[in-house]
Amino acid sequence: MKAVLEYWPSLVQGLWVTVWVSVCTILFAALGAIVLGALRLSSGARAIRAASVVFIEFIRGPSGLVLLFWVFYVLPLLPGMPQLSPLAAAILVLSLDGAVYGAEIVRAGIEAVHRGQRDACHALGLNKIQSLRKVILPQALSQVVPAFGSLARDMVKWTSIVSFVGVQDVLYVANNIRSQTFDTVTVFCMLGAIYWILCLLCAAAFRALEHFLPLNRALRAARVAAQVAPNARALAGAAQ
């Protein structure tokens, strides 16, 4: 254990890389999921809807590790394709993976909003983008965010594959420590605890985000008003 603790600065640096990759991946995946989920429900053009379905299934098909190897090792061999850095390739692949899985969550959340809301938007003269941004999506977020929070915790664990292309994340550093100290049990118990704490922090962040969603705030205000109203009527009756 003492030998492992001597490498603590390197482990902290690897942990920072893991946190950075996780945050970037979750943010980009959330944006991609909203776009793909909206395209998945596009009612204007069948070609757009079909293209989004094909793209989603194409990315979901191979494992994340195979896709990472393809982007990092195979893509540069194709004419005109760039050579991405290990970190850029890792963030790109994990963001795409998260976006295609999150797209189905967004699609389900949008479909859960009552159709009357869309009809009301149409009656008010809002176009599809305005309706989605101002009315539909804020209501759908109460369904989307909890499910996406569960996906985000998985995405934190997905970051462990980035070490296979040379990104010096916490797994990469832990493997180096294990090879130098031969203390396999301590190193991997510590590694498991680190991922567990990261997942707990991710879950706490999404629970806090749920608290500030517009629909959830409106529901809390309605509950408070429902509790206050009987007391107000009772006080008014007593005053009379």
DSSP state letters, 72-114: IIIGGGSTT-----HHHHHHHHHHHHHHHHHHHHHHHHHHHS-
Taking a C-beta distance cutoff of 8 angstroms, is the pair 14, 169 a contact? yes
Residue 120: both structure tokens together: 């009301």
Residue 36 pLDDT > 70, yes or no? yes
Nearest to 32 by CA among 102, 108, 131: 102
DSSP for residue 167: -
Q: Quote the CA–CA distance of 81 and 73 in Å, as a whole number.
A: 11
Q: Quote the CA–CA distance of 133 and 127 in Å, as a whole number.
A: 10
Nearest to 65 by CA among 171, 193, 145: 171
Taking a C-beta distance cutoff of 8 angstroms, is the pair 94, 124 a contact? no
Angle among Cα 64, 186, 173 to the nearest 5 degrees reads: 45
pLDDT tens, residue by residue, 43-58: 667 788 888 888 888 8
Residue 40: both structure tokens together: 């998945």
Residue 75: both structure tokens together: 């893509």
Q: What is the pTM of this model?
A: 0.84
Residue 152 pLDDT > 80, yes or no? yes
Taking a C-beta distance cutoff of 8 angstroms, is the pair 145, 180 a contact? no
Residue 228 pLDDT > 80, yes or no? no
Most confident of 51-55, 109-113, 132-136, 211-215: 51-55
Residue 122: both structure tokens together: 């149409």
Q: Quote the CA–CA distance of 64 and 93 in Å, as a whole number.
A: 7
Residue 70: both structure tokens together: 């393809």
Phi, psi of 82 (to 5 degrees): -80, 160
For residue 114, how many other CB atoms are within 10 A of its CB?
A: 10
Q: Report, at the CATH architecture level, how domain 2-239 is classified.
A: Orthogonal Bundle (1.10)
- Mean pLDDT for the chain? 82
pLDDT tens, residue by residue, 90-104: 999 999 999 999 998
Residue 19 pLDDT > 90, yes or no? yes
pLDDT band at 81 (very low <50, low <70, confident <90, very high): confident
Q: Quote the CA–CA distance of 95 and 102 in Å, as a whole number.
A: 10
Mean pLDDT of 54-65: 87
Residue 223: both structure tokens together: 């509950």
Residue 124 pLDDT > 60, yes or no? yes
